[in-house]
A and B are shown apart, each in its own frame.
Chain A
């Protein structure tokens, strides 16, 4: 099952510079495991040690933010297109408070 994954600049060091890679899996978790097997270390940039989606990235399935599709449990099908973007956020607030505010 081929799923196209668009990789942002900041993570292309894991994909040998590739902007688009292919993966497989029937859920986002399975896809990320598959990607990590081919591009070692990628998983750690997408998933926290606690097992949640990292707040520094946005992941989309086709045109939808995966946070609205069950996050890591989001179901995937052959031909889906995944886009990973760096979350753009910041501000004067302290980091811990900001992370809590993001609530991810």
Chain B
């Protein structure tokens, strides 16, 4: 593994809660952060327009609105997350084919176990998947 995703524990908790809420459908969303900071700071849960247990897709109009909002705020999508609800938290061939944000951390949460979550992070660039560590920080301690 090389590279690391540093992310606030409150954001991770909110992502897991979103994934649990939408289970058994896949949940998806974005965590925006200031351009160039590599720090995810603003959680934006997105609708899964596919409403499927095995597929997710951002609604194209919601995506346009959110991407413009990030542009206006000088933000970029630092994390793009989604859940797998019956399989491991590893990018599927579909995930790899669609991965269109080379600068983003692709965070996967598996909710297949009811009492624990598997959370893993990857870079996906030109079809190549590289797993990275997740450094979960507690902002209340840092502040």
Binding site for B on A (CB under 8 A): 8-10, 56-58, 60, 63, 65, 67, 83, 85-95, 98, 101-102
- Nearest Cβ on chain A to B124's Cβ, whole angstroms: 9
Q: Quick check: is B94 within 8 A (CB to CB) of the other chain?
A: yes
- Nearest Cβ on chain A to B40's Cβ, whole angstroms: 15
Q: Quick check: is B60 within 8 A (CB to CB) of the other chain?
A: yes
- Taking CB atoms, residues of chain A closer than 8 Å to B46 are 88
Residues B84 and A95 in contact, CB atoms below 8 Å apart: no
Interface of A is mostly: mixed
Interface residue total, chain B, C-beta cutoff 8 A: 35
Q: Could you list 18 A-B pairs, sorted by A, with CB under 8 Å?
A: A9-B102, A60-B60, A83-B64, A83-B67, A87-B100, A89-B50, A90-B92, A91-B82, A92-B26, A92-B53, A92-B54, A92-B55, A92-B87, A92-B92, A93-B55, A95-B97, A98-B94, A101-B55
Residues B103 and A91 in contact, CB atoms below 8 Å apart: no
Q: Quick check: is B143 within 8 A (CB to CB) of the other chain?
A: no
**Residue of B whose beta carbon sits closest to that of A65:** B60
The docked-state distance in angstroms from the alpha carbon of A83 to that of B91 is 27
The docked-state distance in angstroms from the alpha carbon of A98 to that of B92 is 11
Binding site for A on B (CB under 8 A): 26, 28, 30, 46, 50, 52-58, 60-61, 63-64, 67, 80, 82, 84-87, 91-95, 97-103
Residues B57 and A87 in contact, CB atoms below 8 Å apart: yes
Residues A95 and B94 in contact, CB atoms below 8 Å apart: yes
